[in-house]
Structures are given as C-alpha cells and as structure tokens.
C-alpha cells in the first residue's frame, strides 16, 4: 500500500508539473511570433531538440518574415513616335461630328498622360491591329483618309496595318492600311497636337509617314 501511495504521489507530482509547463507556455498566435522557453541557449521552441527546464519560463521568438509587396504585373506595350515631328500617337478627346468616332491624334512631348501607349497585336497575314492600351480602342483607317479609334473587336481589314521596316528595325517604320493601301502620318500644323491622316502619296509625305516604335510598360 505504501508503494502504491508513493506511485500515486509521483504521478500526481508529474501531472502537476506538466500542468505548470502547459499553463506557462505562450501559444503562437500572431503571424510574427511563436512561443518558447528560456534556456541556456536562449529562447527556444518548446518542442525542440534542446533540453528545457521542467518549468518553462515564457519567452517570445520573433519570426517576422516581411510579406512581399504584391506588385501588379506589367506587360510590354509601345509608343509610336512620328520621326518628322517627334509627336506620339495618342487617343485624345477629339471626335468626328459626322460619325461620333474619336480621331487618332499625335501629341507633343509636353503632353503627359495622353493615352499614348499601344498594343501591337498580330493579325491575319502577319499584319497588325493597333490597340490603345488605356482605352482598348483599335486604330481604324477610313475611306476619307482620316484614322479613327473604334471600341469593340475588329470586324474587317480596315483595322489591319502592315508594318514596313525601312531600316530593318522598328526604329523606322511605315504603317500601311491593308484595306486602303494608304500610309498613316501625323499632321504638322501645331506643335501641341494634330490629327493622324492617311496618304497614298509617299513622294509628298514620306518623311511624315515614318514612325519609331519603342517599348514601354503598361
């Protein structure tokens, strides 16, 4: 009976100490912290390979790993610059009163945020659809030699343009309308902004019809 009493006392003491350890431990709750016990090795996790005292003097292990900032993925897009004037192809608030369509424009270097970034999307016959990356509108040649911007999906060849690399690179390009055969160019009446037109006469408007295509990010 004495032996049984000693066993009960021993198990009771161990149970009590286990309760002390359990009650004195810090539960890991936050993202940056974890519970631990103070040892000669410093603050170590409770369930580690280090021997800890039977009584756990609570401590906190800082485990902050800075969350990486989520940066929106940027994709390459393009700026089309008229070599003769240095003006960029853009989508401005200029409308054709007859059709209510937006005119394609060119703007000077001082004009910022003028929706002057474009997507060049490969279409039939290795020709290109030219889409404004800000508005989603597509460049479309018109039979009256104006160039408009049209919302919605392209429906015919008037949206297609053939790039002709004059010097074998995109630094000097002619864009020819697949439907009408004309070449797009920017007017030079104003240093601020002008309309984009189409010409059949490269002898008269050759320099004005040359464009440089440079990569930017949207």
Q: Is the pLDDT of residue 69 over 50?
A: yes
At 89 the pLDDT is 95
pTM over 0.75: no
At 23 the pLDDT is 37
Whether the Cβ atoms of residue 56 and residue 23 lie closer than 8 Å to each other: no
At 132 the pLDDT is 96
- Looking at the domain that runs over 76-217, which CATH code has it been given? 2.80.10.50
Q: 178-203, pLDDT tens digit by residue?
A: 999 999 999 877 766 788 999 999 99
Spatial neighbors of 155 by CB under 8 A, at least 6 apart, are: none
| All CATH 2.80.10.50 domain ranges in the chain, comma separated | 76-217
At 27 the pLDDT is 41
Q: 23-52, pLDDT tens digit by residue?
A: 333 344 445 667 778 776 678 776 555 454
Q: Which residues of 23-37 are buried (b: 16+ CB within 10 A; e: fewer)?
A: eeebebeeeeebbbb
At 37 the pLDDT is 80
């Amino acid at each position: 009976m004495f032996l049984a009493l000693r066993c009960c006392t021993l198990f009771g003491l161990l149970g009590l100490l286990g309760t002390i350890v359990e009650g004195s431990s810090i539960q890991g709750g936050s993202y940056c912290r974890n519970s631990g016990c103070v040892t000669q090795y410093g603050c170590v996790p409770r369930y580690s390979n280090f021997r800890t005292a039977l009584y756990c003097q609570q401590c906190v292990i800082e485990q902050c790993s800075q969350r990486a900032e989520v940066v929106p993925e940027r994709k390459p897009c393009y700026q089309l610059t008229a070599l003769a004037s240095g003006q960029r192809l853009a989508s401005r608030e200029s409308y054709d009163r007859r059709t209510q369509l937006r005119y394609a424009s060119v703007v000077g270097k001082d004009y910022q945020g003028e929706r002057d970034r474009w997507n060049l999307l490969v279409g039939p016959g290795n020709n290109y659809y030219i889409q404004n990356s800000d508005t989603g509108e597509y460049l479309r040649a018109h039979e009256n030699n104006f160039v408009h911007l049209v919302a919605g999906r392209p429906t015919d060849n008037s949206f297609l343009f053939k790039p002709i690399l004059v010097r074998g690179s995109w630094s000097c390009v002619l864009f020819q309308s697949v439907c009408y055969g004309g070449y797009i160019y920017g007017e030079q009446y104003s240093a601020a902004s002008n309309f984009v037109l189409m010409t059949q006469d490269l002898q008269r408007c050759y320099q004005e019809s040359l464009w440089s295509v440079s990569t930017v990010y949207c």
